Chains A and B, each alone.
Chain A
């Protein structure tokens, strides 16, 4: 096994508030790593920092041996880190198909001259982007909604479409920020199966989720954050029995 993501002493502060403080994290290829912590513990900040939306104050992020902490989001995406968002960030007035095709942007290059003259290279790239997008919609079970605008899909479908769009970027590491939050149990079950299927393709997954049963069931290892610091790491059973974790969540034993 080799390391795909190596984070060292990562710190991200907003003014006086340190959202992530000296966090170390090492993720193996093919792993599903769960990240838990109470609200405001820095999980989403960690995701935003890995994907380049925030740049860290200190520390380093290494992806497949390349330091990426100073890179723009689009470069990080093209290196092979895809992501979804906790608060759905789809392109609401574009169709489901177009949303996924945007995910395929890097993989189907064409310049403005090729675009204007509809050269064979352009048509080939466009055809491939179409096919790939259909494939992804099929993969997540949304093919029947391809021509609907994203804003007209149900909440659960929107969350799933985010996964399809992220998968279209052809990631090796996929960051899922609360993929089943707000879903009913039936919908959640479908997404859990989907995450297994994605992991089955050899894609490493970082998972933030408040639904403990889902997270503990999926994760190989779990990392616990509290007030921006890593307080514990281990197998799901070990973590859920750890007194520090119980204290962070329930506030026992002061």
Chain B
């Protein structure tokens, strides 16, 4: 048993290294359009990993996370255009604002959970979108913000090209996966999971549940804000439509499809939900139907998400390897 787990771990490290190499060398094989798509996937991975901390690990639902994504994007958009600030100053400010609002949205969890929390988060998402639409003097309303500059590090270090910006996104994706894993594998992560598993028992074991639920909201809105900060300079143009409830729903779908309470699952979910529609385009307007049916079938037969198939495959291979080395 121990042997198999060890082999499985080794296998996983090799696969991750292989994937990392593939991603880093991606620009060598593909065209600029795909690099842009890959950057977008990276942004969705950040969103999904962040949402998974809230939904998968802590067991709280949010259908309003596009709001934090919007705050990150608009914060960066406004601060780097009309305020003329550097991206590197706009980023921490926007992420801080998203986190602060995340804390605010976390406070109702003292009283509300489940379906009630879902409704509260939907309303929050709608309010933020409406504010962006109507605070014309700051956000430019429905017209959106144009010419968001790509960041540079001063001198020749610029992220203006699609390829260099892709690498910037990859950097933040790695940072996200790493930090989220470190949080999950700790006392904080155990507190999150205990709350998900049984809140009364968690409180009776000395966990200040409200504090940790608000913290889960703060952390996941931190990541959503970060994703927004990258989205604005990637697209160079943002408008309120990019942050509607559909985006919140997509984020939740990615998290569940990939695998709740699994960070690699979130990465896969982010990739799957963004890539599949691209390849289903030939079906024109029917692709959403095919996609939807696929999701339903998956939720019935594979509730643990895409990650469960891969986990099983890893275990199978590790078993075979262990048997071979035993012979």
Give residues in A with beta carbon < 8 Å to B. Answer: 51-53, 72-74, 77-78, 83, 85, 89-94, 98, 101-103, 105-106, 108-110, 112, 115-116, 118, 122, 125-126, 129, 165-166, 168-169
Contact A115 B206 (CB under 8 A): no
| Bound Cα distance A77, B206 (Å) | 5
Contact A105 B191 (CB under 8 A): yes
Interface SS of chain B: helix, strand, loop or mixed?
helix
Contact B204 A112 (CB under 8 A): no
For residue B103, give the distance in angstroms from its CB to the closest CB of chain A.
13
Contact B201 A90 (CB under 8 A): yes
Is B209 on the interface with A (CB-CB < 8 A)?
A: yes
For residue A124, give the distance in angstroms from its CB to the closest CB of chain B.
12
Find the residue from A53, A89, A118, A168 having the highest chain B CB count within 10 A: A89
Nearest CB in chain A to that of B198: its residue: A89
Interface SS of chain A: helix, strand, loop or mixed?
helix
For residue A46, give the distance in angstroms from its CB to the closest CB of chain B.
15
| Bound Cα distance A115, B198 (Å) | 24
User: Apart from A83-B204, A168-B205, what are 17 other A-B pairs with CB-CB below 8 Å?
Assistant: A72-B203, A73-B200, A73-B203, A74-B209, A78-B206, A89-B204, A90-B201, A91-B198, A98-B193, A101-B187, A102-B207, A103-B205, A105-B205, A105-B206, A112-B183, A112-B188, A115-B186
User: Could you list some 25 contacts between A and B, CB below 8 A?
Assistant: A51-B204, A53-B200, A72-B203, A74-B203, A74-B204, A74-B205, A74-B208, A83-B204, A85-B204, A89-B198, A94-B194, A102-B191, A103-B205, A103-B206, A105-B187, A105-B190, A110-B188, A112-B215, A115-B183, A115-B186, A116-B182, A118-B182, A126-B186, A165-B205, A168-B205
Is B179 on the interface with A (CB-CB < 8 A)?
A: yes
Tell which of B183, B197, B203 touches A94, judged by Cβ atoms closer than 8 Å.
B197
With A103-B205, A122-B186, A169-B206 as given contacts, are A94 and B193 in contact (CB-CB < 8 Å)? yes
- Our count of residue pairs bridging A and B at CB distance below 8 angstroms stands at 93
Nearest CB in chain A to that of B191: its residue: A105
Give residues in B with beta carbon < 8 Å to A. Answer: 179, 182-183, 186-188, 190-191, 193-194, 197-198, 200-209, 215, 261
With A90-B198, A94-B193, A94-B197 as given contacts, are A110 and B187 in contact (CB-CB < 8 Å)? yes
Nearest CB in chain B to that of A129: its residue: B187
With A89-B200, A92-B197, A115-B182 as given contacts, are A108 and B187 in contact (CB-CB < 8 Å)? yes
Contact A93 B206 (CB under 8 A): no
| Bound Cα distance A252, B218 (Å) | 61
For residue B304, give the distance in angstroms from its CB to the closest CB of chain A.
11
Contact B190 A98 (CB under 8 A): yes
Question: Chain A residues near B190 (CB, 8 Å)?
Answer: 94, 98, 101-102, 105
Nearest CB in chain B to that of A103: its residue: B205
Closest 3 CB pairs of A and B: A91-B197, A89-B201, A77-B206
Question: Chain B residues near A125 (CB, 8 Å)?
Answer: 187
For residue A8, give the distance in angstroms from its CB to the closest CB of chain B.
23
Question: Chain A residues near B203 (CB, 8 Å)?
Answer: 52-53, 72-74, 77
Contact B182 A102 (CB under 8 A): no
| Bound Cα distance A91, B261 (Å) | 14
Question: Chain A residues near B197 (CB, 8 Å)?
Answer: 90-94
Question: Chain B residues near A126 (CB, 8 Å)?
Answer: 186-187
Tell which of A74, A98, A122 touches B206, judged by Cβ atoms closer than 8 Å.
A74
